[in-house]
Structure 1
């Protein structure tokens, strides 16, 4: 909506901005003050910032921005400085709203000069999201952790389970008990469910003395079932680590980390958005994601491919572990 003096107005509600024919000197939000010199600029939502940039990034061209500036600065410099500083409003938004917008802006070539700031804001928002459901341990729990190695956070629980998975891999590779044979019935590999039970039972036997319980087929919200969880009670609060298990042949192999583990299981408040994606590797002759011809020869190659498919927003919260149970 056109305002007096060539101003362009941004209607409240859904972000909708139109470009005036005259050079726009200010961007209004409904009936409020100008966005560029608005003290409450931080209240702008991420979507509105994106909408403003989308319209005006090509109208207000890039100009050099000196360190010193003020009311006497040229209009073009004021305009471009307004756009570059506007992105910091996103830092005040909720991570779930801000992170998708930041992802789009970072990939937008028109915002190339703002990428450093955008990535910095994304890092802060990712950290904010990680800490959203975090409850800091009590002083007594910290003492227990330092003196006795006790698990007091989901992150600690995740590291402990990963450590035990590495130990399991060591037993499979070089142990004297032919542990890999547990995953086969004769020459035929087992399916996901019996393999999961073998792994869960081993973890439960090892971790139970630390008051950590492994629960296979854990029922979560909306009747969703996680393959297994590791849980520990700390006073009246529970820490819960969710784990999704997939065989390398599963057709949804590359989607499960995001669509199942992150979107359905790790959202549990006790899980603090963290989890482990455990993939079973039976060798290069086995299908990968339903394909016979896949070109993957080693488990490390599969791990790399799987991690590349995980969005930046959840990296650091989801660990990928490929358990090699192939016959050597």
Structure 2
């Protein structure tokens, strides 16, 4: 475990800004004695929130004043050109300079992707960055789904590279040397799907760094048959948000049913430990934090409407990725694949 871990936080991004990011930051440093956080944003606003939590003088919470904010309506290219002192940009600059080892933001997704690509640059050999996140399954381990929206359309080579990066992420997270990788498709048969999907399948089959197991359908996401599922960003984003919506619907319907009659209320009291366990298992908050992989630095994107608990989960994810040295491990695999082709 690293004894000196520093993460830069975009405190002003997201729907709630400091109202969720400040409590999350305080809880994170209190839970991890090796963690320091650089809080990027409006110093007056941040100080006020910290003071309300009796944490204004916390030695491992460092405020970095920023005069600008990247709003949800801000165009990505405009954010890069005109928002150089924004909380998002400053957090990324701190990663580039080495003052921080990772960045977490709940801000404008398009702006974060564009800005992270501009500031940190791609790892050698990587065509496009990808957003990857864990999704709960029937089994003990989650499945890692990518891309979740960084690239709406992907060619075969890009999907193939996502397979490599997803394999590294899942392998490190699950402690598995040979994680199972599949491609999300409209059917499991080899003839199904468009040409880029078919070509990506051929590339993955030929790659010794990918344990390719074939196509997965949408219904396979939750089964745990695969450790990694690769898809285009448009498809992945829709799939992820559908998963989150299903989880919330299940808990809403269950809670409503158990409150309907006195007998059900008694039953709910008896089943309380089971219901809590189920809620913890499917609650999207614990999986908050999609990682932007393929860059020369660690960037974690939190949901824009993340609660304090969810933003804390994103900070924890960033800390784990620093420990696992994900960019270095991905770069090493791509260097080996490049050497093999020579």
With normalisation by structure 2, the TM-score equals 0.22
With a CA cutoff of 8 Å and minimum separation of 6, indicate the structure with the bigger relative contact order: 2
Structure whose alpha-carbon radius of gyration is higher: 1
How high is the TM-score relative to the length of structure 1? 0.23
